[in-house]
Structure 1
């Protein structure tokens, strides 16, 4: 159990201390992971930016990810997508909805500071936890195409089977806790508030 995202970020930063002084690029998945990314970037002496991905929500179960889409439009679909109502037409429409959200967020975030090129960099992708792993899979897939020197996934908590999927796309996966009985990321935090766009923008401006 983590007290909050600050606690989780501090614990991750301790495990990532071998990258201190190597100017790592910390890429946080908005919005929840951005406050964590700021803490980790500061402790490691790295740079903070965001990687924009969105989950494809199940019909009538918006918290369940049937897949995800990244900023390039590449789409990942979970093998159970059709079982939960993920028809071709539904997923096509949901993909366009989420791409529009990505475009809106880029328009909000980019004027604060242009995105940082990950090519040739040590890149550490941060999230506040994984469930299906869908958004992390899309994030790592898109970043690999940009040719980072090293691609690392760092999260506080994840189910073991999700870690297996993610490990195929990263050079290294660091996960603090991998409990076998997993329902949602929030169950492993005592305090897990929503993070809004204003906070993300303020953190990127400060970075």
Structure 2
């Protein structure tokens, strides 16, 4: 049981210490994993950024993923999606909803910093846990297209099934705990409070600094 996300991040950072000094790029999946990525990057003396992906929510069960989508609109859909009521019409609507949200976030984040280049870097993608693995797979696929030197998936806890689905997409998989009685990520945190958009923006400002103020040109 982890106290909170930062406690989990500290434990992950200890396991990832072999990357200290290698200038790793630590990417957090918004929103929950962004403060985690910030702490891990500090502990490893690396850089921090975000990777923009969103899960596609199951009908009537928004906490369950039936797939995921990245900021370019590339979608992966779970084979069980239709069994959960996610037909083609529903999936198209959900894809449009989540892509619009990702585009809004990209505008917000780009106002603070430009995305860090991942080419030929050791990239560590962090999330606070894996339930289905769909969002992490989308993140890894998105980053792999940008040609990192090494791609690492790092999570505090995951279902054994999700780990096996994610494993082929990463060069290395780091998971602290994969219980057979997994029911949900929040089950393994004493405090699993919501991370808000303002928290993500604050993390980015702390790392990249505040955006320059706009001064209109003099007449």
If the length of structure 1 is used for normalisation, what is the TM-score? 0.99
CA distance in 1, matches of 2:22, 2:63: 37
User: 1:100 & 1:83 partners in 2: Cα distance?
Assistant: 26
RMSD: 0.6
Q: What residue ranges of structure 2 are gaps of 5+ in the alignment?
A: 208-219
Q: Does 1:85 align with 2:85?
A: yes
Alignment of 1:10-89 (within 5 A): 10-89=10-89
Aligned match of 1:163: 163
Q: What are the equivalent positions in structure 2 for 1:109-148 lying under 5 Å apart?
A: 109-148=109-148
Taking the aligned partners of 2:108 and 2:183, their CA distance within structure 1 comes to 32
Q: Does 1:206 align with 2:206?
A: yes
Give the deviation of 1:70 after TM superposition: 0.6
Question: Structure 1: how far apart are the matches of 2:58 and 2:161?
Answer: 20
Is 1:174 the counterpart of 2:174 in the alignment?
Answer: yes
Tell me, in whole angstroms, the C-alpha distance in 1 between the residues paired with 2:32 and 2:64.
Answer: 17
Q: Deviations over 1:119-159 (max 9, x none)?
A: 11000000000100110010001111100000000000001
Q: CA deviation at 1:85?
A: 0.7
Q: Which structure has the bigger radius of gyration? A: 2
Query: Equivalents in 1 of 2:150, 2:111: separation in Å?
Result: 28
Runs of at least 4 residues off by over 2 Å:
none
Write the distance in 1 (CA, Å) between the matches of 2:131 and 2:168.
16
TM-score (norm 2): 0.93
Task: Give the Cα–Cα distance (whole angstroms) in 1 for the partners of residues 52 and 165 of structure 2.
Answer: 20
- Aligned residue pairs total 207
Provide the residue aligned with 1:186 in structure 2.
186
The Cα shift of 1:71 comes to 1.0
Q: Deviations over 1:143-184 (max 9, x none)?
A: 111000000000000011111110110000000000011111
Shift of 1:201: 0.8
